[in-house]
Amino acid sequence: MRPKHMTTTKSSTTKSVKDDNLFAIAEASGKQFLFRVNTYYDLDRINAKEKDKITLSNVLLIKNKKEVTIGQPYIKNATIDLEVMSHKRDKKIIVYKMRPKKKTRRKMGHRQELTRVMVKSINIGKETSKVVSKKDSSKSSPNPKQKDS
């Protein structure tokens, strides 16, 4: 069973076979989401206007066909480009507090402010990693002031 505070996602009608294998897990609104291209998501309210472009840089994982890249904790030079579609409010949640035998009852409602965003692209930076080889420690002493006896 899905908790009420979770949001649902739907894919748009245009979908290519190439994009089905590509997804990313990133942090947004204090939570982790699995993002796919051409899919919209409801995030907590973002201070942006409609049709604005947003870039998420806190990417934790990217899967591209057969290759999986995991960040420690984030992947360098990886971004997710989003476009703000609309601002809306979630379904109403009723909060009812009652203390038995005390004649205390309190009923409150809450509607979460949401921003609907569409994932436009998932970008992976082309950074080449260099491996630095360690020099032989027996050839040079670690402290140059130290004399051999």
Can you give the pLDDT of all 149 residues of the chain as single tens digits?
Answer: 444 454 555 554 433 334 468 999 999 999 999 999 999 999 999 999 999 999 999 999 999 888 999 999 999 999 999 999 999 999 999 999 999 999 999 999 999 999 999 999 999 876 323 333 344 444 444 555 555 54
Residue 133 domain-assigned?
A: no
For the chain, what is the domain count?
Answer: 1
Residue 148 domain-assigned?
A: no
Residue 38 domain-assigned?
A: yes
Residue 57's pLDDT is what? 94
- CB 32 within 8 Å of CB 26: yes
Residue 139 domain-assigned?
A: no
Residue 138 domain-assigned?
A: no
Residue 79 domain-assigned?
A: yes
Our CA dihedral for 128, 20, 80, 82, rounded to 10 degrees, sits at 160
Q: E strands within the chain? A: 10-11, 22-28, 31-36, 39-44, 53-56, 59-64, 67-70, 78-89, 93-99, 104-110, 113-124
Residue 59 domain-assigned?
A: yes
Residue 43's pLDDT is what? 96
Give the tokens for residue 96: 């009812």
- Quick one: which of 50, 48, 73 has its CA closest to 60? 73
Residue 132 domain-assigned?
A: no
Which domain does 104 fall in, by range?
10-124
Please state, in angstroms and rounded to a whole number, the distance separating the CA atoms of residues 43 and 30.
Answer: 10
Give the tokens for residue 115: 């921003």
Backbone angles phi, psi at 18, to 5 degrees: -65, -35
Q: Please, which residues have CB within 8 angstroms of residue 14's CB and are 6 or more apart in sequence?
A: 38
